[in-house]
Structure 1
């Protein structure tokens, strides 16, 4: 009973292990397809591109391909529609003979960028094999003394199919003596026995012919038969027996030859030679088992005969028979299941399934470079593999799927620093001790245009001698680029500079291929001394890069200009008195040279110099002076030839002639001395430009001032015209107050004037010169404040004028600030005794449509403030223009701030005021007459 329980547990453990391994393979794959075995070429498997989420239009350009773990390629992908189909017919029994689940793992790889997918194709078993027996006939010898229930082991049939398609049952032809019994282990029939149901009687029937049929579970069900011939013998009646029909043991795959695997022990109740047992391999033992194991016939020991390999065979099934030595030997049967224990005896195997090289140096981090498959034939922890890079590099290994790794970029790449990486990839399992292996791959780094051309120095200076030959090479610009190929091909060009309005390309040119710089013109140091240009070096990358070289070009002076005497020194005539002393400066010569530097340095000498000549010349300054006293033997005139020579190579000269006449006294040469003329001319030359500049500036200033004055005067006249048009109020050609000559008056004031009112009346009579003078005095600045005399009276002419129409165009009122002209109607002041207030009557002679208005002075009226003018101390309180009835009435309020704020003028129609004026007309006339008499007296 205990043996049966152990056997059941062992079978459950093995079954769970197989199921777990199957489910693990399914989980680790991305796609899982199932097809039946025997599928012909072209059988549809699955839409692999669609299932993997790949664009069908890209799978051809991205070079999708399948890598199979097996040697044969059973599947192929149609790159037009992304369908996976069968390429070669698959026989599951050949591909997976000992595996319950037949799965073909595939690696689907696409490039650009590199991606990898894991696809498993499961091959379903079909019932394409019938059960068959190794022999068509089996002979058995059974003693008639065998008791009922005796068992006789039969050789079972074989079916290459698996699962329900394999053998599921046996049938024995109908008979009265024998029955069939079979036992299943892990859903498979492991033991087939013939059981004796009824005692045999050789005398009744000595031979029994039976038919054994094996059936599988497929649809349709297939079968196979064999014939069993049983001969009944009268022999030994007890067969050897084992303690259990199955035994289990394990052995390490690295066990040495001769190691003990298992020891069998069978028993036989017979005595003597019928009880002596021997052990032999059963007839169904495969040749491989007899090659690996040996069986001791006397002891029953099973020993290792050759090396084991777990990766080849994981379990061995050994059938052992125990035979006694009776006259009619009897046999006992058992099976030994030997499990091979895996040890870490296989190092990992590295395979590079995809390598995308060269790698661009601007590849971002995470770019996949290679797909690496690592396999370890061991199992368990011995088959778990870790992959890594042995040496530091800007790459790393990341796990992708089970046993697959990707080599990706993890750091910046720079081809100019390192253009090739030899990456050593190491794989190590988790066994104890661990095993490892290595593989080196070369990753080439491709160039991108990430470096601009580089000059050795950003600025350089060259010197070109003037008068150079046009087209001569003057310089070579050389730049280098750390890139390679097209990215390092450099072209040179000139950047745009302008020299005195002329492009620099008119002076020099650059060869775009080698950077040679040529002078296009013959330079003249006297016209241009130096200039700067920029040489641009540009590479030929897809995104071109460039750098600049600033080139300072200096034109070297050569002695190509001879000295020149100025026009004042071309021919000179000088008079000198004979009485002068040695050292006296007679005259001076001066020459200039257009060259510069040492080539323009002058020295002066006499040509054909004679020691008798009483003159000497300074080599540095050109001063001609007396070296000795004159004698009677000296000539009256000397013609000296002066040579001016520069210090160039070769030296160049200029010649001038100086004539010196000797006179008796200094007065003869006072006004004819060439030196004085020379000095005057020198002064004119040196100052003429200054005088011209001053004259030009003064002229511009004068023109500007005149233009400004004219514009301001024109603007003023325009403003006066606008005011005349805008302020014509109630024009009337009749009346004694209308201007006959349309005279205009203007009263000007400053911003600091007080708040006084000035009212001007103009009669209709012609103006006299006296009146004009008085009118011009209206712009007086009034300083001393005084109240108006309350005893004013109307004049006779004013009384008459009040009955007619009044037209006043040019009257203006001073308002303390420059507010322009303000038209006023002429009014008549009312007599009042109030020193702080006054009232002005309505406009005299106003027309029908004119508005009446009044002036009110003092703090009593709060409608509008009126500016107060400053009255000079000597200005009379009541002022009447001589020869005219017009009156200038001035009223000044109190100088307090409160009084000044209360001054105002009110305009508008005053109908009620007119009525009151009519009632008081009689009284006003009397007062006017009195005032007129007083004024006449004054």
Structure 2
């Protein structure tokens, strides 16, 4: 305080000196806020007045506006502070603040100007525009975001008005001062850490402004920073799982429960809408509804405990933010069985489905049985119906286990409806029941099984590639993957024997069935990969494997026997005459063919006067087809009726129809048509030229043909002449030998026939090649294929006289040729055999390579048969 007065005094002195220098103007200085009565200056002395002179001459101030805050003492002539001086009120922010006073002195009248400077003291604290500043920042504002603040003001001047700012401690905000000019600082609020409205919705900070006075004065402003919400929080249910029970007799409209969900966001971001989804079972949508605004769950349909005991569904709580967020919770609605004072049966735990290989004693469900009654009415006994394959075992009071008592078989029963019954001890007793559905899960315990172990499939040859031959189906009573069957051709049990292997041709042998057929993996259809040719393949046997998709997979096999049915796709083909054919006719006829005989003429000789029935020639033909399609018949097309020759319908032997005489001419040309029995029939034509010779010439021609058989098969020049004595001698010799041989062989044939007649009927005579059984309906007989068959089965029982065996017209196989892998003959192709003694004789004969061909021909002519194509071999033509 003393120092202040010293400073004031010093200023007065300075003003006085200045007044003296200025020519009478007095200057004073007084600090603002000086107390009333404070002497500003001795004005009378400073004006040079003597003591008492100021009062005598009436020294006074002229009152002007704000000058009322000072007064002049009339007795002492001192200038005093009369009221509070406020520099800020008098001068505001102007500096310096000077008050101009007028002093009057009478007798004589003089006017003095007094300048009073009001000096500033730090009496004003910084003042903010408002005591509270409300700010709003989004919670997703990034760190570093700046928010300019309005600074404080100070009524003082100079150092007393120089302000500095500080901010209350905060981990989210800091203060940065920016200079707007040389005198003022502008504070800026800086975000240093991300905001979270849900954690701190409002931040309250204090901004303090301090001036430069001594002591310093401060002013504060409260910063209320409201964090604006962003939709960064999904609604949250107050429970993750709601479990509620509802009696089955609850009426429609019953409030089941209310789901509560909160969203820490605000505004539309916190407005929640409820929806129900994922109903198990789906029928829950018909009996349960949810209020989208309140979350109240109401019953909208009737409940049935026996039908559905538990409804599971989810509640989705979605806000209205952008983008909307959602939360979920689960609701388990358990339907309680209602039966007044009756036992209650509840399923505590249910372990289904039950595997069909589950062990006996497996616990399927844990049951809780209770009764609201007490005493005898509350004593409950429990059992299961039907009694098998499940049973009830008591574990402890009120708890039972549903256990497996018998082995299960899903293929027999795939699901069980079990009813647990409870009966109390009341009178009359009341009962309650609880139905359980126990499905049986499948295990792969059944292999795929075909309806037949062997499938017989008939397919006509020349079928189109890709044609469906058959469809196989295997049943697997398992389900899903265990019962899903795929089919494949099993090469281990499949194959076909190529006919080239029978003839010893190169490249013959077994061929895989996969080269002929394929099996569709899904449908089991058997497709042909190529057109089938009966002449190449008659029987194809293979196995189809059916495999399920179980783990481990099981499989089953079926054998497919594919029989190719012959089509009449081959016309008869004429065969060249064999070597030495002149001897086969017993000297009665000779056969010849010129070069290129297939398109030329066959030649034969006959003697004049030959009797009726004399064999002149034999037409040999073969049909590549089989059975009925290969059964050939021979027809003679005569230019004139009742010609001298005829042809055997099935033997092809050309013989005289009547005795020949000179009127018939020296040469005859015969047109012979060979026709099969197919539909439509196919045919071939042969031209035979028969020359009539004298008996001696015919014999010589026959002898010449026999002697040249080793080097030439036929003679192309008819009418060749030989000596008559040589021909007669040769004929006599052969006749004697033939008579002896025929007599001996006849006796041998009778013995062998008797032995074959009474021998066991299961013997099989076979030669290379598979056998095909064909019924020749036109002639009412059975025949074997003329192409490959050499097998005849003799079975017990009487022989049938209508059985015919047609030997093939193929030439004999080359020497040394043997089948590589002959097929086993079918077990029962023929069960009867012809009683023809010639047939039995021919089958029982051993090979006769040493017999001369004329003798062989004469021997067969004796029995009314035709000469074989190659005497000395088992396979007669």
Fold match by TM threshold 0.5: no
TM-score normalised to structure 1 length: 0.35
